[in-house]
Amino acid sequence: MLSGEYVEINGLKIHYVKSGTEGKTILFLHGFPEFWYMWHRQLEEFGRDHTAIAMDMRGFNLSDKPPNVDDYKTSHLVSDIKAMLERFSPGRKAILVAHDWGGAVAWAFALTHPELLEKLIIINSPHPAVFLRELKNNPEQQKASAYMLMFRKPEAEALLSANNYAGLAKAVFDSSTRPEAYTDDDRRAYLAAWAQPGALTGGLNYYRASKIGPPSPVDPQLGAVTFADASSFVVKVPTLVVWGEKDRALLTGCLDGLEQFVPDLTLKRIPDGSHWVVHEKPELVNNYIRQFIEGN
């Protein structure tokens, strides 16, 4: 039975679920519009021989939800992860597993704090330099990422929460290659998390605070970020990338040239997996994670 706890970091009360007390710490980071629960099968699996922790990122579900958009800048999100690892893996390298927005934070964390990580595992979340390239040069990725512009608008909350969060439910459950993988209990858990006061705004603020996005006529600064020195975006941590190739939002072009930025890269493509491959193929995802963390 998994149960939640709280820890105070960076002045925020963060909700997390922990499984196991043995071995190295594995910290799991979710994306939008998910929460710690997306990792419940991984907690059960890896809690057997590790200290497995899945947190609600700031702004989501039962964690505190700072009110300002600037509270969701990458530097603050990275600081949250650093504080979590200092709390749960003091003086010892940890393993980071992350999906979607959690992956964006994990990439940034690995670039700024490689000394704190033993291994990095990313699931359907592009390296920032590769994603920026695709958003600038790939019309198909620009089209696939158009939702990011909608999520930045003031009316996004109303659109996504209408009719009992029908927009979010469609984005998650209906775009899966295996909608039946979500049980009635799963769907109820997601609806409850989305309905937490302020949670939808907290999640959308990740998009509003970001400087990366598709070209926008109303926001010329969006996507204007440039990486003058590509070498500063090289990840110096052994990295596994698992990718569901039927992801409608993040296309497989996000994998092209990835080895330039991740020299120690293991790539596992799942041809019939979508963005929600963690739900669709939990056993396969767990096998890939275990093979990687137990390898030399």
pLDDT single digits (tens) 39-68: 999 999 999 999 999 999 999 999 999 999
Query: Which stretch of DSSP H or E encloses residue 81?
Result: helix 74-88
Let me know if 182 is a catalytic residue.
no
Q: Which of 68, 41, 57 has the alpha carbon at shortest distance from 9?
A: 57
Instruction: Give the up-direction half-sphere exposure of residue 154: CA atoms within 13 A in the CB hemisphere.
Output: 0
Query: Would you kindly state where each structural domain of the chain is located, as residue ranges?
Result: 4-294
Copy the structure tokens of residue 127.
Answer: 């390296």
Q: Which of 56, 64, 80, 100 is catalytic?
A: 100
Max CA pair span of the chain? 52
Averaged pLDDT for residues 16-25: 96
Other Cβ atoms closer than 10 A to 153: 14
pLDDT grade for 24, boundaries at 50, 70 and 90: very high
Q: What is the pLDDT of residues 171-207, one digit of tens each?
A: 999 999 999 999 999 999 999 999 999 999 999 999 9
Q: Which of 15, 50, 99, 275 is catalytic?
A: 275
Copy the structure tokens of residue 81.
Answer: 């992860």
Q: Which of 212, 211, 271, 262 has the alpha carbon at shortest distance from 240?
A: 262
Fold of 4-294: Rossmann fold (3.40.50)
User: What local confidence, expressed as pLDDT, does residue 219 receive?
Assistant: 78
Q: Which of 42, 25, 20, 7 has the alpha carbon at shortest distance from 278?
A: 42
Integer Cα distance of 267 and 85 in angstroms: 25
Q: Which of 182, 190, 206, 207 is catalytic?
A: 207
Let me know if 127 is a catalytic residue.
no
User: What local confidence, expressed as pLDDT, does residue 231 receive?
Assistant: 77
Residue that has been written with the tokens 């920026």 in this structure: 132
Copy the structure tokens of residue 96.
Answer: 């980071």
Does residue 235 carry a pLDDT above 90? yes
Let me know if 288 is a catalytic residue.
no
